Structure 1
């Protein structure tokens, strides 16, 4: 049986010509999965902030035009021999509607185009992508706008520094999901652990220099054990010192990686595995991200 049975695609302004749509179609063709398109209809931005909102008649006409456009776009996808259904919903709360769609459809993965927001805008508002990666009970695949239909290189980002069994199990889950995704796409899989010794150097610079090799060795052993457990070839293991986001960004460029598989863990419960690294990784221009939470299996 294929790894994927149901894909939930969140339509955006570029639908059906978006990279996210092409990724969903390519996965569906390769796996026989069905695609359900969720189109969230919102009132268009007004030219002037003081302009009144649409009345009921205007809203109904706008929704009707939007739904007709989605239906025509879905018909184009269906002509490519892909089983596609769709639903258009008027909403002022996109996150809630997506989560309702996830509960009702029970997809194997949610596919959505990445929101590329400038830093200043992210300061004043939490991007939908950030809320979604933390709230979704199933894996979410954020697809970069320039992504190819199927990836050639997939990178699994792990952090084996914490010996707590739940966190070690989550590392194994990240690798399992990455392996399955890479296999489904016939892509090459790599493993990366970005370890940051900044705190040690800041605490005592002279002492940290003397102990750096011992610190590296202590961090390398659990990474090696994790890589050995999944039979990762040495040439595809990346144990790199530096801040996680920079390490991932540099590795994406070096390998020309298409997808990074990362954990999304909220502050409560298990605690932050990678902090806000996953959120910031969504802003890496050249790469797409597949996020998972503990228990959100793909297989």
Structure 2
């Protein structure tokens, strides 16, 4: 989503469209270069903070800036040796940085709080979400220069196991009107995602693409069984038409007609983990909204590890959702 000022809408409209997003946890990475706690945020975290404030203004939500410091075994030993002094120094430095973020949010009319914890960031974030019933987590992505995936271990674990929506923000130049892809499988989860994005577009203009991908490799296998090409072509056309009709039926359950740019429907041919990232790259998409499948075994959006394979190839911000009845496997020790 872009960083332009949200469109003006009445408070009643804002409350109706965004009533499910009241509290957002912002993951703050305080490490920078070789420093355990840095006063200057890295580029990715600074972008995430700015985006979080923008989103909070759009949703009329409160923020919790949350930093989890994952200490090495050596550092933990040093803290145990001089617990009062070193522990106080680390947490005091971290809290000082977090206070500047609270002031930054306040200057833009957003209420916020902060907390510092010790432990693996993904785990501590999830525990904090469960404890305080946050409605969304917003975090930065990997720094530019990492080879391969945009999303590191912390973000991937949040995608898999965090019970609320996770918004992973990529540092990028945002257009005046961002391009948003909603990946759909016509399930209840994807209908909820589509409704969420359509409602958000009533507050801030977006160009929405509703996308579904069909793996066409089945056609090749059927050819080997002696089915003629004309029959396969007709079958393929019928399937594509049926899927497009289902997407349009899903779209009809939203208020998309009220949007400035409407919603475009696309049926892509190919496996989702290939076709959707290609569509995103070709159309310079800024945000992918999708469901995910939890490792714990509860089916969410894609079957198997399709979602993770797709995320390995995506080069844009991502907003992930899980089914309403998802229960995180993360529990306090």
TM, length-normalised to structure 1: 0.79
Aligned to 2:209: 190
Specify every segment of 5 or more residues in structure 1 that has no aligned partner in the other structure, as ranges.
161-167
- Secondary structure in 1 matching 2:117: strand
Counterpart pick for 1:262 among 262, 287, 290? 290
Contact 1:22–1:149 (CA<8 Å) still a contact in 2? no
Aligned to 2:124: 97
In structure 2, relative to structure 1, the CA distance for the partners of 1:120 and 1:25 (3 Å cut) is closer
Matches within 5 A, 1:43-54: 43=71, 53-54=77-78
Aligned to 1:55: 79
- Secondary structure in 2 matching 1:18: helix
Provide the rounded CA distance (Å) in 2 between the counterparts of 1:279 and 1:150.
30
- 1:279 counterpart = 2:308: yes
Contact 1:195–1:239 (CA<8 Å) still a contact in 2? yes
Number of residue pairs matched? Answer: 282
Aligned to 1:253: 281
Aligned to 1:163: none
Instruction: Write out per-residue CA displacement over residues 229-284 of structure 1, whole angstroms, 9 at most, x where no aligned residue.
Output: 42368971111112323322232233332111111123634376254343244445
- Secondary structure in 2 matching 1:201: helix
Aligned to 2:11: none
Aligned to 2:156: 130
Contact 2:190–2:301 (CA<8 Å) still a contact in 1? no
In structure 2, relative to structure 1, the CA distance for the partners of 1:208 and 1:65 (3 Å cut) is farther
Following TM superposition, by how much is the alpha carbon of 1:34 offset from its aligned partner in structure 2, in angstroms? Answer: 1.1
Provide the rounded CA distance (Å) in 2 between the counterparts of 1:85 and 1:149.
30
Contact 1:15–1:73 (CA<8 Å) still a contact in 2? no
- 1:110 counterpart = 2:127: no
Contact 1:194–1:240 (CA<8 Å) still a contact in 2? yes
- Secondary structure in 1 matching 2:78: coil
Following TM superposition, by how much is the alpha carbon of 1:149 offset from its aligned partner in structure 2, in angstroms? Answer: 9.4
Aligned to 1:141: 167
Provide the rounded CA distance (Å) in 2 between the counterparts of 1:258 and 1:11.
22
TM, length-normalised to structure 2: 0.72
- Secondary structure in 1 matching 2:115: strand
Contact 1:264–1:293 (CA<8 Å) still a contact in 2? yes
Specify every segment of 5 or more residues in structure 2 that has no aligned partner in the other structure, as ranges.
1-14, 31-40, 327-333
Provide the rounded CA distance (Å) in 1 between the counterparts of 2:206 and 2:128.
29
- 1:22 counterpart = 2:55: no
Aligned to 2:6: none
Following TM superposition, by how much is the alpha carbon of 1:204 offset from its aligned partner in structure 2, in angstroms? Answer: 4.3
**Aligned alpha-carbon RMSD (Å):** 3.4
- 1:87 counterpart = 2:115: yes
